[in-house]
Each structure stands twice: as structure tokens, then as C-alpha cells.
Amino acid sequence: MSLITLDSMEDGSFAEVEAVVDGTAESLILHRSGSNVHAWLNVCPHAGRRLDWAPGKFLKSKEGHLVCAAHGASFELAGGTCIAGPCRGDSLRAISVEVREGEVVLSA
Ligand code: FES
């Protein structure tokens, strides 16, 4: 099932989508990087809050890190590791996605 089309995301931007992961409906963070997309559960390892301040609205620092809107934890976007803030060293849970014919889909 398509989560979103690649074309609808600007390069470097984030999007939020709902998907069923391991039988549970989850909110996912998507980040486009060129022709690739990375995905993580939209659950901060600090206090379990969503990272967006409004649905699909994520903060990006001037260094290019994803910043949790709740208490400011910063995550690098290659691996989703928290590099500053209250959960430093913890990671977002990565979800495997791939781009197939212009559609972002969960990897089988
Ligand atoms: S819940 Fe994300 S920094 Fe606290």
C-alpha cells in the first residue's frame, strides 16, 4: 500500500503518515533525502510523545537535525540517533520503507 508519493515530498522535507506496523496503526515520520526516504515511528524515545508540533509539522534545526517539539531532543537523520537533549544516545525506531515506481511503501 502506498504511504505517499515521492513527488509530494520536497527533498529534505518531512511528512507524517499512518501505517499498520506489526498489526498496530502507527504514526510514522518520513524524511526524503534525494530519491530515498527514511521512516521512523513518530514516538520520541524520551517520553514517548509525538515529535511533530501539529500533524505533519516537524522542526528541523539549522544543523539539519530533527527536533522533538515536546522537549527539544535532536536526532540525526541518517540513523535516527538522538545526539542532543534528554534522550541522548537513544534512537528512534526505524521502519523499513522503499520507493517503488514513485510510491513510498513499507518494505515487505
Ligand atoms: S518527548 Fe521528545 S524530547 Fe521529550
Give the three-class secondary structure for 66.
strand
State whether the beta carbon of 49 lies less than 6 angstroms from ligand 1: yes
Domain around 28: 2-106
Q: Closest by alpha carbon to 81, among 73, 72, 71, 91?
A: 91
Question: Residue 108's pLDDT band (boundaries 50, 70, 90)?
Answer: confident
User: Is there an atom of ligand 1 within 6 Å of 84 CB?
Assistant: no
Closest-CA residue, ligand 1 atom 3, reads 71
Rounded to an integer, what distance in angstroms lies between the CA atom of residue 29 and that of residue 46? 16
**Digit-coded pLDDT (tens) for 27-52:** 999 999 999 999 999 999 999 999 99
What CATH number has the domain bearing residue 57? 2.102.10.10
Banded model confidence at residue 21, pLDDT cuts 50, 70, 90: very high
Q: Based on the structure, what is the number of domains in the chain? A: 1
Ligand 1 atom 1: residue of nearest CA:
47
Q: How many Å is the Cα radius of gyration of the chain?
A: 13
Ligand 1: residue of 71, 83, 88 to mutate (most ligand atoms within 8 A of CB) is: 71
Q: Is the CB of 59 under 6 A from ligand 1?
A: no
Does the pLDDT at position 26 exceed 80? yes
User: What are the tens digits of pLDDT across the range 72-94?
Assistant: 999 999 999 999 999 999 999 99
pTM: 0.96
Grid cell, residue 96, equals 523499513
